[in-house]
Amino acid sequence: MMGELLASFRGLPVASLHLDDLWANSQRLAAAAARWAEQLAVSADQVLDAVPGLFAGRPAVLTHGDFAPVNILTDGMTVTGLFDFEAVRLADPLFDPAWWAWSVSFSGPGVLETAWPPFLAGADIDPAEPRLSERVHALQVLRMMEQLARGNLVPGIADIVTDRLDAALT
């Protein structure tokens, strides 16, 4: 159901909205990511070098920016709401799925592996899309870097994101 909700959200009209589009331009995103890496003193060259080729020419869609189970309201059977819209932006169609996967990966062994295929199906994303896992990984790394560079995460969460970023870069 979360995949279906995401597919519906991506289809909302955006023409009259003034949205951050940094994540919709691969060159600008790569430049911003290089600044984040420098600020954080992390070595992310492999990911940074891949960004332009991974995302050039891809469409931009409306993204929630923090699409995770914690931001979904449910009555136990169906999804009844979506909240926390402070990070809404235009980005690659895999931006929200990448962050959803990152969030769900905290749920314990096997949860993501079980939930990922039906999530992709609901979100109308082809699991056989070329370079899917590479794009998802890059988006997760860049999003963690962005969050840490902004410096507005509470200390415990910042430590978790830092540990996850370190693991993703090794």
Q: What is the DSSP string of 37-54?
A: HHHHT---HHHHHHHHHH
> What's 2-169's CATH class?
alpha beta
For residue 78, the model assigns a pLDDT of: 87
pLDDT at 106 over 90: yes
Beta-strand ranges (E) seen in the chain are 61-63, 72-74, 79-82, 89-91
Question: What value does the mean pLDDT of the chain take?
Answer: 95
Confidence of residue 146 (pLDDT cuts 50, 70, 90): very high
CA torsion, ordered 10, 15, 21, 26, to nearest 10 deg: 70
- Joined tokens for residue 113: 């592996």
The string of pLDDT tens digits covering residues 18-32 is: 999 999 999 999 999
**Separation of CA 116 from chain center:** 14
Q: Which amino acid is at 68?
A: A
pLDDT at 116 over 90: yes
